[in-house]
Amino acid sequence: MKTEFGDRNDPHVQARAARQAPLLLHSLTLFSEVIGRIFTAAGPRTVVEVGVESGGASSIYLDHGADAVYCVEPVPTEEMRRTLGDNPDLHLIEGFSPAVLAEIPLGDVYVVDGDHNYATVRGELDWILANAPDAVVILHDLLWPWGRRDLYYNAAGLDPADVHDHGAEGPTVWHDDVTAAGFVGLGQFTAAVDAGGERNGVLTAIEDALAADPVGRHELALVPAVFGLGVIYPTGDAEKAAKLRSALEPYNGSPLLAAMENNRIALYTRVLAMQYEMAAGAIDRDDLAYRVGQLSAELQQQRDETDRLTRAHQHELEALRANPPISIRNVGGRAVRKAAREVRGLRSKVRR
């Protein structure tokens, strides 16, 4: 039987697919199957996408039946402009969310995958729940690392009261503190130093926004894969809510997906740590090689100086042997004369 994983005549199909995949799976495009089920149940026509990646995920919503997608991105790249510009049903909206949301048509579905911090996500959700209460909201990064820890692409653009102590070091699953060997932004973002507590992280923002909304008006489903996908859907239309609940049931809180996700982030952060250790080791080796070079040069200088002094000493000895000082010659002459007197004295004694 031939499957997408190959057959007995081509047993390496799965391996080829695995080695062609990126080391870190993170894109919303991976949830196309789940998004398709949501769209089948909800039948949306207009989608508002907050945070556009490279633009690659935007067309998926059209593939699943939407008529128009409004792509909100404050600083689009040229690649993103080209990608979105190739399709007239994809509309690039340059601006910051949630302020810009009021300037575009209301969505039947909102896809929120922008700045992963409490203040931004809470502001976006509060606006959507107040102005488009019948919309389905799809959110990314509800789990580790940003579920309970703020990420800041532009901390300076937020109210200082909404910004936790943050820095360049990032989280790892191997201990609770941030580390240079963790999930770091490399200049693209910073992470809150501490996780948990109030007003910290994407999932905390979602919980608080739903708690502030009228009780029972919305439900949250959580797909524990690829950093966590959340789906908030209204319950006012019982039939529609039942369809959405049924569509998400295989994924919502799946222990299998959760176990695989935990294993994935453990392995990935171990790879990050190993890469950091290798880079640090390379730096140490470079420093050691530099120091060895310095010591070798110093040793060679000492050898050269020793050779110079030895040659100079030899020349001085040769000069002394060839032309000893007068004092040495006088000493030699006195010794000869003394010896001659002693010899004459002995001869005189012999004659007597």
Q: What integer pLDDT is reported at residue 176 of this predicted model?
A: 96
What's the rounded Cα separation, in Å, for the pair 351 and 257?
129
Residues whose CB falls within 8 Å of the CB of residue 67, separated by 6 or more in sequence, listed in order:
45, 46, 89
Angle between helices 238-248 and 32-42 (to 10 degrees): 160
Give the residue among 90, 11, 105, 21 at the shortest CA–CA distance from 57.
Answer: 90
pLDDT in tens, the chain (352 residues): 667 888 999 999 999 999 998 889 999 999 999 999 999 999 999 999 999 977 778 999 999 999 999 999 998 999 999 989 999 999 999 999 999 999 999 999 999 999 999 999 999 999 999 999 999 999 999 999 999 999 999 999 999 999 999 999 999 999 999 999 999 999 999 999 999 999 999 999 999 999 999 878 999 999 999 999 999 999 999 999 999 999 999 999 999 999 999 999 999 999 999 999 988 766 667 677 777 778 788 878 888 888 888 888 888 888 877 877 665 555 556 665 666 676 566 666 655 5
What's the rounded Cα separation, in Å, for the pair 70 and 75?
15
Peptide bond into 98 cis (omega under 30): yes
Q: What integer pLDDT is reported at residue 162 of this predicted model?
A: 97
Q: Are 158 and 119 in contact (CB under 8 A)?
A: yes
Give the end-to-end CA distance of the chain in Å, rounded to a whole number: 138
Residues whose CB falls within 8 Å of the CB of residue 81, separated by 6 or more in sequence, listed in order:
92
What's the rounded Cα separation, in Å, for the pair 89 and 59?
9
What's the rounded Cα separation, in Å, for the pair 104 and 51?
15
Integer angstrom CA distances of residue 189 from 58, 195, 204, 282, 348? 23, 16, 20, 26, 114
The amino acid sitting at 231 is: V
- Phi then psi for residue 289, to 5 deg, are -60, -40
Q: What is the DSSP letter of 155?
A: G
Q: What is the DSSP letter of 153?
A: S
Sheet strands (E) in 17-84: 46-50, 68-72
DSSP-based three-state secondary structure for 62? helix
**CA atoms lying within 13 Å on the CB side of residue 236:** 9
Domain coordinates in residue numbering, the chain: 13-253, 257-352
Q: What integer pLDDT is reported at residue 279 of this predicted model?
A: 82
For the structural domain made of 13-253, what CATH number should be given?
3.40.50.150
What's the rounded Cα separation, in Å, for the pair 137 and 68?
16
Q: What integer pLDDT is reported at residue 332 of this predicted model?
A: 55
Integer angstrom CA distances of residue 299 from 116, 290, 294, 303? 56, 14, 9, 6
DSSP-based three-state secondary structure for 349? helix
Integer angstrom CA distances of residue 13 from 2, 19, 260? 10, 10, 21
